[in-house]
Chain A
Amino acid sequence: MSKQQKPRRRKSKQKTSASRPVSTQSVSQPEAKARVQAAAKPLPQRSLRVFLGLTLLWLGPVFALWYMLGPILLMPVAWLANLILPGLYPHAFEAVELQAYTFDIVTQFNYSPPGAQLPAGMVGQYVFSLNGLKYGYGLPLLLALILASPTRIPHKLKYFALGFVIIVLVQLWGICFESMIGLIFKSDPSIAMQMNSSTLGRELLALGYQLGYLILPAVTPLIIWGLSHYAFLQTLLSDSRAVRSSEPTA
């Protein structure tokens, strides 16, 4: 078994040295050597305990950063929601406006709350606010998991960028369904009646909302991390096997 492995090692060394002249064309020889060595350097092994500890350590600062950058991170969600809701239901939604951490859903319906005193000739417009961040807590969780995994920086950046796009879509799902819920279930009955929703439509709406609130924000970061760090996951799970094989046999 060990005899078969030796030639493979030699072969990989030959590949490394063969690629050296190509690298030295534009940079100095020591620099190129360092680059080649860095590229060939294996990633550090990380046990499950260390990985989980690092994830928990990263979670605090990453959550704080996510909250501070919230108004910026919510911009693409607001932009997409402003395209989709008025685009799909022009008779119901006028605009979606981002106000730091909340979305103002501006509807086409006129409404004055009982007891409200408006100036003569003025009509109230029905507007309600939604918390934009409550569907996005998966982003800091994903970032903590990625940072705790022993992968190279380009890999981390690539999958964080991909995760960001997917989590924006999850947030968009949540905001769109909650906006519809806000109009059909939580608004004044006179407004809800104008939405003309069927019983089945209301059931599907409730299911979509619950899915977008309770399941998608939680599951999405774990799936993205699991699929993008499959090799690391395998090493985590085979830790016990490695420990076992290194134990002296009787």
Chain B
Amino acid sequence: MPLVIFFSVLLGLFTLELINPVQIWVIQPLTAGIAHISASLLQLFDSTVHAQGILISNRETGQAVSIQPGCNGVEAMICLTAAVMATPATWRQRLFGLGIGYLAIQALNILRVISLFYLLQWNQVWFEWAHLYLWQALIILDGLIVYLLWLRTLNRVQTTETAPA
């Protein structure tokens, strides 16, 4: 049964993500927000960085990265949501897990965007390698770590509740 819930939520949310109004009102503003936060962080120590929409560019070299589907962490958030929904817990515990999980995924995603921005300026081959393979694995691993830590907090709560006085 948990697997059925997991796959149903996964496929449902993924299909929802691809619908045009969701793209316009949710995904694109979120992606632009990630680009803006990443650029703001970069500008703290690099004044040549400029953000416009989903693009982060270097004014001097003209090189730019564009945050596309698959690079905004939304898919990892969907996977985490499906896993949390498939786990027996109260709604309050689920919301806590999702809130912390989304933050953790987006924090690592911003690190991914920043690292890829500099990797592109250093070496195109390494940029492609990190972009297509390594960071994809690290982001989903981040989701798994958050999920396991959340499961442990559930266990702790159960232990506290069932512990004899």
Which A residues are closer than 8 A to B by beta carbons? Answer: 48, 52, 55-56, 59, 63, 67, 131, 133-134, 137-138, 140-141, 206-207, 210-211, 213-215, 217-219, 222, 236-241, 244
Contact = CB atoms under 8 A, between A and B. Distances in A.
5 contacts: A137-B132, A137-B136, A215-B78, A218-B139, A219-B140
B68 to A, nearest CB: 10
Interface of B: 10-11, 14-15, 18, 69-70, 75-76, 78-79, 129, 132-134, 136-141, 144-145, 148-149, 151-152, 155-156, 159, 163
Given A213-B70, A240-B155, A141 B18 contact: no
A237 B148 CA distance: 7
B79 A238 contact: no
A63 B79 contact: no
Contacts of B15: 207
Nearest to A60: B134
Instruction: Classify the interface of chain B: helix, strand, loop or mixed.
Output: helix
Contacts of B140: 141, 218-219, 222
A219 B149 CA distance: 18
Contact of A131 (B76, B132, B136, B159): B132
B148 A63 contact: no
A133 B163 CA distance: 50
B159 A241 contact: yes
Nearest to B154: A237
Contacts of B139: 218
Contacts of B10: 215, 219
Contact of B152 (A59, A218, A240): A240
Contacts of A211: 11, 14
A241 B139 CA distance: 29
B141 A141 contact: yes
Given A56-B141, A215-B78, 4 more contacts: A214-B14, A219-B140, A236-B148, A240-B152
